[in-house]
Copies of this chain bind each other. A is one copy, B any other.
Amino acid sequence: MVYQRLGKPLPATAAGPNPLVVNVSARHCHLTQEAVEVLFGKGHKLTVHKWLYQEGQFAAKETVTLIGPRSRVISNLRILGPCRTLNQIELAYTDSIALGFDIPLRASGDIKGTPGGMIMGPAGFFEMPDGVIRALRHVHMNPVDAAHYGVKAGDHMRLKIGGPCAITLEKMLVRVDPSFKLEVHIDTDEGNACNLQPDTPCELVK
């Protein structure tokens, strides 16, 4: 399971037009169709393992092996579909330290100057010249949500997460698109730091 649905709707008075969903993204990659064919064979199409919360996005059945700079590997790295126009691997810092990568914190898609990596599939190897990042924690929202919270794309919000090991994530990038459903994406380091569970209270604040 790549994105585990962990959010809990806020009380109606605070919830705004849509319920807040907070999901943990385990390490994963986005690939071009060209890379998929190198890794899985000519003409291969990704197949759906599980639909994600954002419309049309899915965890694929296909996974790859990522080979780190010191020959350490991460097996079963999940591909998220559909294919994109760039190749990008998103790791938590704990993953990157285990692999021996020194990776930067970037917004998804902003991969210029980032380290690359070698990935392996059943049909071959694919070398990425760049694209290995820790993704900036972010919240997806549509314009109605943005108006409710009084924010715009590129702003930062805070996510207060309760429970026995409560934390507040102070800098949460706001991403706005009419197709987006209200959803926060954090990585496994952040999710495990606060032990995010289905009943953990979460509040998004400006």
Residues in chain A within 8 A of chain B (CB atoms): 92-94, 97, 105, 134, 136-137, 164-171, 187-190, 192-193, 195
Contact = CB atoms under 8 A, between A and B. Distances in A.
Nearest to A195: B93
Contacts of A137: 165
Copies of this protein, total:
2
B190 A193 contact: yes
Residue among A97, A137, A189, A190 with max Cβ neighbours from chain B (10 Å): A189
A193 B193 contact: yes
Given A93-B193, A167-B170, A189-B189, 9 more contacts: A94-B94, A94-B188, A94-B192, A105-B195, A136-B165, A164-B171, A167-B167, A167-B190, A187-B193
A180 to B, nearest CB: 22
Contacts of A192: 92-94, 97, 189, 193
9 contacts: A93-B192, A93-B193, A94-B94, A105-B164, A166-B171, A168-B170, A189-B189, A189-B192, A193-B193
Contacts of A171: 164-166
Contacts of A94: 92, 94, 188-189, 192
Contacts of A188: 94
Contacts of A97: 192
